[in-house]
Chains A and B, each alone.
Chain A
Amino acid sequence: MNFRILSPALLVAAVTAFGPVPARAADTTIAQQLAHWSAQAGAPGNAARGQSFFGNKHAGEWSCASCHGTPPTGTGKHASTGKAIDPLAPAFNPRAFTDAARVEKWFRRNCKDVLARECSAAEKADVLAYLAGLK
Chain B
Amino acid sequence: MNAFPIRALLAASLGLVPMVAALADGGRAMPIRVPPAYTQECASCHVAYPPGMLPARSWQRVMSGLERHYGADASLDATTVQQLDAWLQARAGTYKRVSEEPPQDRITRSAWFERKHRKVEPTVWQLPSVKSAANCASCHAGADQGRFDDDKLRMPDGLTPRQLRAWVD
Measuring CB to CB, which residues of chain A are less than 8 angstroms from any residue of chain B?
Answer: 1-3, 5-7, 10-11, 14-15, 18-19, 21-22, 78, 80-83, 85, 105, 108-110, 112-113
Q: Footprint of A on B, CB under 8 Å?
A: 1-2, 5, 8-9, 12, 19-20, 22-23, 27-29, 31-33, 35-36, 43-47, 67, 70-76, 129-132, 134-135, 137-138, 149
Complex Cα spacing A22 to B35, Å: 10
Are A10 and B23 in touch, CB under 8 angstroms? yes
Partner of B33, one of A5, A18, A85, A113: A18
From A3, A5, A81, give the contact of B134 (CB < 8 A). A81
A18 x B132 contact (CB < 8 A): no
How distant is the Cα of A62 from the Cα of B29 in the complex, in angstroms?
33
Task: Find chain B residues with CB under 8 A from A21 CB.
Answer: 36
Evaluate contact between A83 and B135: CB separation under 8 angstroms: yes
Cβ B29 vs Cβ A78 within 8 A: no
| Complex alpha-carbon distance, A2 and B26, angstroms | 10
Complex-state Cα separation, A129 to B163, whole angstroms? 47
Question: Which residue of the partner chain, among B32, B33, B43, B130, contacts A82 with CB atoms under 8 Å?
Answer: B130
Distance (whole angstroms) from the CB of B44 to the closest CB of chain A:
8
Known pairs A6-B19, A78-B45, A83-B46. 8 more at Cβ < 8 A? A1-B2, A2-B29, A5-B22, A10-B23, A81-B46, A82-B130, A83-B47, A112-B73
25 A-B residue contacts at CB 8 Å? A1-B2, A1-B5, A1-B27, A1-B28, A1-B29, A3-B29, A5-B5, A5-B9, A5-B22, A7-B19, A18-B33, A19-B36, A21-B36, A80-B132, A81-B45, A81-B46, A81-B47, A81-B135, A82-B131, A108-B73, A109-B73, A109-B75, A112-B67, A112-B73, A113-B72
* Set of chain B residues within 8 Å of A108, measured between Cβ atoms: 73, 75
A110 to B71, CA, bound (A): 11
> By the criterion CB–CB under 8 Å, are B22 and A6 in contact?
yes
Bound CA span A82–B156, Å: 12
Query: Shortest 10 CB-CB distances between A and B: which pairs?
Result: A82-B135, A112-B73, A82-B131, A81-B46, A14-B33, A109-B73, A21-B36, A2-B29, A18-B35, A1-B29
Chain A residues with CB under 8 A of B129: 82
Residues of B within 8 A of A3 (CB): 5, 22-23, 27, 29, 31-32
Among the listed B23, B67, B71, which residue makes an inter-chain contact with A6, where contact means beta carbons less than 8 Å apart? B23
* Also in contact, A5 and B8, with CB within 8 A (given A18-B33, A112-B73): yes
